[in-house]
Amino acid sequence: MRDIQQRRSIRLKGYDYSQTGYYFVTICTRNRECTLGNVVDGEMQLSKIGQLVQIVWNDLLKRFGNLELDKFTVMPNHIHGIITIVEAGLALPKEGAASSAPTRDVPIRLMDVIRTFKSISAINVNRFLSRVGVPLWQRNYYEHIIRNEESLNRVRKYIETNSLRWELDRENPQRKSEDEFDLWLAKFKIRPNKKG
C-alpha cells in the first residue's frame, strides 16, 4: 500500500474561521506559474485568465450573504485579498450559489469561501482554455487573521502597492531581495519550540 503524505495544517489551531473578522488571504497558482498576467513598469497587466479570476472574486458577493470584499489584487502567479465575514452564524447562499457554497443552517467559514473561489475560477479558466480538470491553484492557501486597524491598514497598503513591489515579492520567481512586509508578517507565524 502506498504511503499517503499527511499535509501539516497551517491554520490557527482551535480558531473558528466563521467568526466575524478580517482575513488576509494569498492563493498561488499551481507550481507558481505566471499565468495571470505580467507586471509592466510597476503596473499589473491581466491576462484573460487573470481577468476571469478577478470576475470570480468579485462574484463571491453574489454567493455568500455575510461576506464583504476589501482590497484585492491579481499578480502574475497569485492573488491577495481581504475577506470580511460580517456576521458569524447562519447565512443562506444567494441566488446562483455554487454547489460547494454552504447550505441552510451552516455557518460560512473562510475555507468555504476559498474553496468556492478556487473551484469556480479553475472551472472557468479550464473552460476558456478548452480543457478539463487541470488544476489552476496550489492545494492550500495562506491566511492571516487581521486583529486590529493598524494591521488592516498595513495589509491594505501592501495589496494596493503589490505590483510596484513585484521585484521583492516572495512569489516572484526572479525576486531580487526581501520585502519588509514579509518580515513584518513573519512575526505572526506560529513557530514550534526548538529544543537544544
Please check the confidence at residue 2 and state whether its pLDDT lies above 60.
no
The predicted structure's pLDDT at residue 183:
77
Q: Which of 25, 28, 89, 32 is nearest to 60 (CA)?
A: 25
The answer to which of 26-35, 51-60, 91-100 has the lowest mean pLDDT is 91-100
CB 24 within 8 A of CB 67: no
* Predicted local distance difference test score (pLDDT) of residue 170: 85
pLDDT for 192? 38
Q: What is the pLDDT of residue 168?
A: 85
Cell 489551531 identifies what position? 13
Residues of the chain with pLDDT > 70: what percent?
Answer: 78
SS3 64: coil
Average pLDDT, stretch 29-36? 96
Residue ranges of the domains in the chain? Answer: 21-186
**Considering the chain, what is the average pLDDT of its residues?**
83
- As a whole number of angstroms, the distance between CA 90 and CA 105 comes to 5
Rounded CA separation 170/173 (Å): 8
Reduced to 3 states, what is the DSSP secondary structure of residue 167? Answer: helix
Measured distance CA(51)–CA(74) in Å, rounded: 9
Q: How far apart are CA 77 and CA 110, in angstroms?
A: 21
Q: Model confidence at 106, in pLDDT bands (50, 70, 90)?
A: low
Give the pLDDT confidence score for residue 98 in this predicted structure.
52
The CATH number, out of the four listed (3.30.70.1290, 3.30.70.20, 1.10.8.60, 3.40.50.1360), of the domain defined by the range 21-186: 3.30.70.1290
Question: Comparing 10-19, 31-40, 140-149, 162-171, which segment has the lowest mean pLDDT?
Answer: 10-19
| Greater model confidence, 127 or 92 | 127
Output the nine-digit C-alpha cell for 66: 455575510
> Given this model, what pLDDT does residue 191 score?
40
* Confidence grade of residue 91 (pLDDT, cut at 50, 70, 90): very low
Q: Is the pLDDT of residue 54 over 80?
A: yes
Most trustworthy range by pLDDT among 45-49, 88-92, 165-169: 45-49
Task: Give me the phi and psi of 67, to 5 degrees please.
Answer: -125, 140
Choose among 48, 159, 166, 64: nearest CA to 112: 64
Give Cα separations from 168 to 46, 49, 66, 158, 174 (angstroms).
19, 23, 35, 12, 9
- 56, containing H or E segment: helix 48-63
